[in-house]
Amino acid sequence: MPPVPRTGRRPDPATRKRWQQRLDRFRRSGLSIPAFCDREGVSAASFYSWRRRLQVDAAPPDADKARVIPVHLVSQPLAAPLQVVLPSGLSFRLSPDHDLAWLRQVLPLLGVRPC
């Protein structure tokens, strides 16, 4: 999800700190978002809004830039399958004659951004 553009005034630092503490409590609580919001006396909409706002603020400045993932090509016999290893550790093998258009469609579904 792309960052939400910020408009308007910046929130009070005390409010920001209170929401950071609240989100920390949520992560430790083990509760669902609705149950946690009921316990804290806040709306789920405010919870989601502050969570998104604080995540965008915490993102490093280069977070939107494309990442370069090193690729090591190893020469293999012509009939050998191609093994793809993703940054998550997931790997799969493709036959040498496999349609690469399929791979281009599947990689974004697995969370891999194109270079």
Convert the pLDDT of each residue in 28-87 to its tens digit. 999 999 999 999 999 999 999 999 988 876 656 665 566 777 777 776 566 677 787 877
Claim to verify: residue 42 and residue 79 sit in the same structural domain: no
Claim to verify: residue 53 and residue 92 sit in the same structural domain: no
Residue 91's DSSP bridge partners are 85
Question: How many Å apart are CA 1 and CA 105, to the nearest integer?
Answer: 18
State the pLDDT at residue 73: 74
Query: Would residue 2 count as lying in a domain?
Result: no
Give this prediction's pTM: 0.44
H or E stretch including 108? helix 100-109
Structural domain of residue 33, as residue ranges? Answer: 13-58
Question: How many Å apart are CA 16 and CA 53, to the nearest integer?
Answer: 10
Query: Would residue 4 count as lying in a domain?
Result: no
Question: How many Å apart are CA 103 and CA 90, to the nearest integer?
Answer: 14
Claim to verify: residue 54 and residue 77 sit in the same structural domain: no
Claim to verify: residue 70 and residue 110 sit in the same structural domain: yes
Total domain count for the chain? Answer: 2
- 55: its two tokens: 């995540």
